[in-house]
Amino acid sequence: MGKPDKIETWQMVEPGKLTRTSIDVPEIGPGEVIVEIAGCGVCHTDIGYFYNGVPTVTMPPLTLGHEISGRVVDGDERLIGKEVIIPAVMPCNSCPICMSGRGNRCLNQAMPGNSLGIYGGFSSHIPVPSVDLCVVEDRRGLPLEHLAVVADAIASPYQAAKRAGIQEGDLVLITGAVGGIGTYMTQIASVLGAREVVAVDRVAEKLERSLHYGATATINTTGKGVKDVREEFRSYCKSKNLPGFGWKFIECTGTKMGQEIGIELLGFVGRMIVVGYGTHKVEYMLSRLMAFDAEIIGTWGCLPKYYPEVLQFVLDGSIKIAPFVELRPMSQIESVFNDAHEARLGKRVVLIPDF
C-alpha cells in the first residue's frame, strides 16, 4: 500500500508497437487517487487504436486499456484501501452536456487509455479522478480481476439498455449476442424483464449457451442473408404469436450485416440502438422512420451513476461474468492483442499486472 515509486506499464509508442517501460508517478491533487490495478480487460476499442489507426485523444506514446478494477493506494483519504471499478469514461460533471444528464458523452471526459493523459490500464498503477469511482464494498467472493469487465463490457450495454428503455415485458433482439458486449447485453435485457430476448449471431455453440444466459431464442446467421434472417424472425414471431411491431433491436456487432439486420427488421414504433462500431456505410430509407414512428439511437459508454446498480446485478448473480472471461498475465499483452485482432479469442481477456 502507499504511493508506488514508479508506474510500470506497457506503452503504445506508435500504433502497432508496444514497449514495456517505467514512468513517473504524477503528483496528484485533491479529488484524485492512485489505483493499484488488479486487472484490465482487452476491448475491441484498444485493438482499433492499436491496429486500425483509430486516433486516441492523447497522441502516443500512451498506455491503452480502459476496463479497470483495482485498489486505491494513495490520494483521497476516504478511499484508501478501497476496491474500485474505474468507469471507462469519467465525465467532467460541469459542462452543458453533463448538466443535461448526458455526461457519458461529455466532450471533456477522461477515458483511461485514450484521454486521461498518457495513463491507461495496461499498467501497475493509474492516477484517476476519485469522484466517480465505483466502490466495491463486498465482492462476495468474486475475483476483483473479474470485476474489471464491469467497467466497460457490462456498463456499456447497461447504458444501451437504458437508452433503449428496456422494461418488463419488452421484445428485444440482439445482433452480435454472443460477442464481448453481446453476452452481457443478453443477460441485461433478461434481468430488466424483457419477455423475449432473441440472440442473433454466428457461433452455434455460443448461441446454444446464450439460452442459459438470458436468451429466449436464437437465430444463427451463418450462410444466410439479411432477407433469410428477416424470414426466420417473422416465422418465429408467428409461431409464438408475437407482434412484428414494438421490438427493440440492439446492434452489438458493428458489422454491415448486423446493422442491416437491425434496419431491415425495424418496424412500427420500433427502436434500434447502435452499440457496435464499424466504419462502413449502410443505406436506409430514412422516411421509414417517419412512417413507422421508429427510432435509431446511438450510445456511448455509461454514466457513472449507473455503476452501483449494474454492479449489484453482478454481485447478486443476476449477471454472470465467470463463463465469459479469461485471466492472463499482462506480460502476454502482445500475443493477446494479436489474438484479439485475428478474432481468435473466445472470451474477454483480462490482463493481470505481472511486472
- Catalog residues that contact Zn ion under the rule CB under 5 A: 43, 45, 91-92, 95, 98, 106, 108, 152
State whether the Cα torsion 352-323-240-165 is positive or negative.
negative
The nearer residue to Zn ion, 45 or 186, going by C-beta atoms, is 45
Which CB, 106 or 110, lies closer to Zn ion?
106
Of residues 91 and 120, the one with the C-beta less far from Zn ion:
91
Non-local (6+) Cβ contacts of 85 within 8 A are 68, 69, 133, 134, 136, 147, 148, 150, 151, 307, 311
Closest CA to 65 of 84, 81, 50: 50
Extract the C-alpha cell encoding 163: 437508452
Q: How far apart are CA 12 and CA 48, in angstroms?
A: 13
Cβ 106 to Zn ion shortest distance, Å: 3
- The full DSSP string for 207-243 is HHHHTTTT-SEEEE-TT--HHHHHHHHHHHHHHTT--
**Least gap, CB of 1 to Zn ion (angstroms):** 29
* Alpha carbon separation from 274 to 45, 122, 263, 325 (Å, rounded): 15, 28, 11, 24
**Cβ-based nearer residue to Zn ion, 58 or 108:** 108
Nearer to Zn ion, 100 or 241 (CB): 100
Distance CA 321, CA 142 (A): 9
Cβ 328 to Zn ion shortest distance, Å:
17
Residue 67: CB minimum distance to Zn ion, A: 6
User: Rounded to the nearest whole angstrom, what is the least distance from the CB of residue 58 to Zn ion in the complex?
Assistant: 16
Rounded to whole angstroms, the Cα distance separating 40 from 62 reads: 15
Closer to Zn ion by CB, 101 or 317: give it: 101
To Zn ion, the closest distance from the beta carbon of 90 in angstroms equals 10
**DSSP letter assigned to residue 204:** H
Which residue blocks in the chain are alpha helix, DSSP H?
44-51, 96-99, 155-164, 182-191, 204-210, 226-239, 256-265, 287-292, 307-315, 333-341
Report the residue number, 91 or 157, with the smaller CB distance to Zn ion.
91
**Residue 125 C-beta: closest distance to Zn ion, Å:** 20
